[in-house]
């Protein structure tokens, strides 16, 4: 029987309290902008990040893709790290939706620097696409949950402002980043032109992300969302889960980080583990020794009711979350200690 799922922080189910809150939400037709709960979630998320307006979307892929579509055009280019979700895991959506080009940087654990951005900006020459936008991911998924601090973001933003470039944040795990850096979301509005805030990862809501930015950007984004088929009707039931999550599930992310560190501590003593990437938030990526096959390791875990993710050659990823309890942490550590190759 599978009862411990460490594949992703998207596997959580709404708690009874969240469900209760969802079913009591007042709703209306959100395409007419008449759903009070959707309006509340959008305003609340925007205010949290110091932005003017918000737009509730079915997924983080959609908020990212809308932000790109709204701030680029064909013959222009976006700069991001080669591991970025917008490039690797959105089905080629940038080419499909925006017909824009991508300039890939090779950062450190998914993080890029102001110097790298400066070096990637194209000269004014018709051979090149026109650089239009930079996108950061905080925390970085492929980077094992590494996070940017505010001074790092400010320095990249300065380069963007100097060169009139939009700066997007893929904030699938932005609250994990803010917690780890001990920062508040408010100052982000000085640096980013758009932020995608995910509700269905660590925050434990069943569905959705909110795109926040200026009133003008969100007005344009609302049109794009409609054209992509993302205009939902009585979506307040889903937005309510987001409101509940913002009110009750942000501070508890500290537990996920602590549990990720416990997994790391155990893995560091397992003879079949070659090394564990630094654990800064809720993601644990580790490499198995060449003698230990990924498939065999995953099968051994599965026999004990634990699921994990194959994350490239000899690499495994664990992600801690709301439904990964203290007892499950102890059980997982025990299983890891007992596995033999």
Binding site for ligand PLP (CB under 6 A): 59-61, 64, 85, 137, 141, 170, 172, 198, 200-201, 209
Residue 45 or 266: which CB sits closer to ligand PLP?
45
- Residue number of the CB atom closest to ligand PLP: 60
Cβ atoms of residues 122 and 133 within 8 Å: no
To the nearest whole angstrom, how small is the minimum distance from the Cβ of residue 32 to ligand PLP?
A: 25
The per-residue DSSP string of 170-206 comes to EETTHHHHHHHHT--SGGGGGT-SEEEEESSSTT--S
To the nearest whole angstrom, how small is the minimum distance from the Cβ of residue 8 to ligand PLP?
A: 8
Nearest C-alpha neighbor of 62 from the set 229, 245, 220, 203: 229
Residue 145 or 236: which CB sits closer to ligand PLP?
145
Burial of 43 (0-12, 13-18, 19+ CB in 10 A): middle
Cβ atoms of residues 61 and 121 within 8 Å: no
Tokens matching residue 53: 């307006």
Nearest C-alpha neighbor of 141 from the set 87, 215, 183, 189: 87
Residue 143 or 185: which CB sits closer to ligand PLP?
143
Count the Cβ atoms, other than its own, within 10 Å of residue 127.
6
Residue 173 or 300: which CB sits closer to ligand PLP?
173
To the nearest whole angstrom, how small is the minimum distance from the Cβ of residue 89 to ligand PLP?
A: 7
To the nearest whole angstrom, how small is the minimum distance from the Cβ of residue 222 to ligand PLP?
A: 19
Radius of gyration of the chain (CA): 20
Residue 208 or 236: which CB sits closer to ligand PLP?
208
Residue 146 or 263: which CB sits closer to ligand PLP?
146
Q: How far out from the chain centre does Cα 210 lie?
A: 12
To the nearest whole angstrom, how small is the minimum distance from the Cβ of residue 142 to ligand PLP?
A: 8
Residue 45 or 209: which CB sits closer to ligand PLP?
209
To the nearest whole angstrom, how small is the minimum distance from the Cβ of residue 141 to ligand PLP?
A: 4
Helix 215-227 / helix 60-71 crossing angle, nearest 10 deg:
110
3-state secondary structure at position 320: coil
To the nearest whole angstrom, how small is the minimum distance from the Cβ of residue 208 to ligand PLP?
A: 8
């Amino acid at each position: 029987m599978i009862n411990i799922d460490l594949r992703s922080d998207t596997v959580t189910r709404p708690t009874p309290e969240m469900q209760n809150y969802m079913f009591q939400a007042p709703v209306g037709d959100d395409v007419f902008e008449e759903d009070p709960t959707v309006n509340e979630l959008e305003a609340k998320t925007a205010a949290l990040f110091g932005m003017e307006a918000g737009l509730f979307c079915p997924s983080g892929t959609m908020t990212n893709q809308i932000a790109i579509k709204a701030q680029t055009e064909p013959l222009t280019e976006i700069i991001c790290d080669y591991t970025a979700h917008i490039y690797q895991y959105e089905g080629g959506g940038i080419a499909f939706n925006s017909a824009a080009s991508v300039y890939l940087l090779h950062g450190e654990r998914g993080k890029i620097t102001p110097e790298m951005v400066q070096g990637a900006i194209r000269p004014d020459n018709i051979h090149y696409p026109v650089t239009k936008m930079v996108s950061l991911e905080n925390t970085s998924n492929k980077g094992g949950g590494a996070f940017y601090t505010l001074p790092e973001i400010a320095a990249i933003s300065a380069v963007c402002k100097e060169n009139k470039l939009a700066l997007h944040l893929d904030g699938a795990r932005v609250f994990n980043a803010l917690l780890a850096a001990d920062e508040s979301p408010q100052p982000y509005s000085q640096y980013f032109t758009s932020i995608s805030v995910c509700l269905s990862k660590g925050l434990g809501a069943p569905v959705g992300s909110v795109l926040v930015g200026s009133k003008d950007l969100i007005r344009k984004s609302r049109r794009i969302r409609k054209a992509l088929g993302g205009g939902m009707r009585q979506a307040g039931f889903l937005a309510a889960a987001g409101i509940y999550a913002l009110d009750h599930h942000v501070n508890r992310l500290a537990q996920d980080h602590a549990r990720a560190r416990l997994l790391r501590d155990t893995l560091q003593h397992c003879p079949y583990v070659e090394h564990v990437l630094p654990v800064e938030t809720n993601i644990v990526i580790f490499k198995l020794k060449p003698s230990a096959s990924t498939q065999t390791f995953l099968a051994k875990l599965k026999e004990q009711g634990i699921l994990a993710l194959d994350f490239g050659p000899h690499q495994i990823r664990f992600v801690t979350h709301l439904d990964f309890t203290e007892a499950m942490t102890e059980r997982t550590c025990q299983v890891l200690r007992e596995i033999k190759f």
